[in-house]
Amino acid sequence: METYLRKYPLFSLCGLNCGLCPRYHTQGESKCPGCGGKDFNIKHPSCAVINCNKKHVNIDYCCFCPSYPCERYKNNEKDSFITYKKRIVDFEYIKKEGIESYKKILNEKINILEFLLENYNDGRRKNFYCLAVNLLDLEYLIDIVDEIRNNISKQEINNNEKISLIVDLLNEKANNHKIELKLRK
The closest of 116, 153, 161, 119 to 134, measured between CA atoms, is: 116
For the chain, how many structural domains are there in total?
1
How is 16-32 classified by DSSP, letter by letter? --GGG-TTTT--STT--
Q: Which domain holds residue 118?
A: 18-176
Does 181 reside within a domain? no
The closest of 78, 62, 75, 69 to 12, measured between CA atoms, is: 62
Read off the pLDDT band of 29 (50, 70, 90).
confident
Residue 1 has pLDDT above 70, yes or no: no
Residue 125 has pLDDT above 90, yes or no: yes
Does 6 reside within a domain? no
Does 55 reside within a domain? yes
In angstroms, rounded to a whole number, what is the distance separating the alpha carbons of residues 98 and 78? 27
Does 9 reside within a domain? no
Does 185 reside within a domain? no
